[in-house]
Amino acid sequence: MRLHNRVALITGAANGIGKESSILFAKEGARVVVTDIDETAGVKVVNEITSCGGEAIFCHSDVSSANDCKQMIQTCEDHFGRLDVLFNNAGILFGDDGDAESTDEEIWDQTMDVNLKGVFFGCKYGIPAMRRAGGGSIINTASFVAVLGSATPQLAYTASKGGVLALTRELSVLHAREGIRVNALCPGPLKTKMLMSFLDTDQKRQRRLVHIPMGRFGEAHEMAKAALYLASDESSYMTGSTFLVDGGITSAYVTSE
């Protein structure tokens, strides 16, 4: 198993990429801390893992809270003794996130608090735990829009994910000699509840689809497999990377819609 005897903490683990990654990591031998603000859904993920013989616990955490992030790392170490893999995956996208003129300051601040500051807090408290464990792998969920402007305005989200890339690069340099790898997973457009709620009309969805060479939205389980690669020793010479798993959207040049 690719994560045998590893301990992984995954934020935003109740749904989407986080849920699929929690289940997959457990199947690959990891002991998993499932964290989310949605306790009901998070406990269901834990039950799904344990019913198949895996090990997992749930920890209620709001990643925009420094105290919550400090506590989730402490809970991980108290329960499993160490932290080997930290997947900073929690993120939000508001339906009224638009362009610079239309986006309210409150939407901007809430998006930054979860998508960017939440990653910062995860690393702030997770890196010392990884140092105590002798190294590890940090995976930060960014997005293809961190490197490519979105055709459908979502400025706060796009800016927050660009920040995740910059943070990832710097931390990868600072901690490489400690055996702590830091990479950014950049999904393309996915068929998840979050994106489908944002692209809430057929017109919006087709406008996004036309740019994807593979002609379809990605699936959360496909991102989980990419995250597993970054978590495992198979990616042992990767750090500071922008790992694009995007159906080819960032390679495409589209002349018309």
* Beta bridge partner(s), residue 190: 218
Query: How far is it, in rounded angstroms, from Cα 236 to Cα 144?
Result: 23
Q: Can you read off the two tokens belonging to residue 83? A: 């932290």
**Is there a contact between 43 and 65 (Cβ–Cβ < 8 Å)?**
no
Query: How far is it, in rounded angstroms, from Cα 177 to Cα 246?
Result: 30
Query: How far is it, in rounded angstroms, from Cα 96 to Cα 107?
Result: 8
Could you give the C-alpha distances from 43 to 49, 59, 164, 189, 213, in angstroms and in order? 10, 9, 28, 27, 37
- Told to judge if 157 belongs to the known catalytic residues of this protein, a careful annotator would answer yes
- Strand, coil or helix: 88: strand
Tell me how crowded residue 227 is: count the other CB atoms within 10 A of its CB: 29
Per the residue annotation, which of 157, 229, 237, 253 is the catalytic one? 157
Q: Which of the residues are catalytic?
A: 157
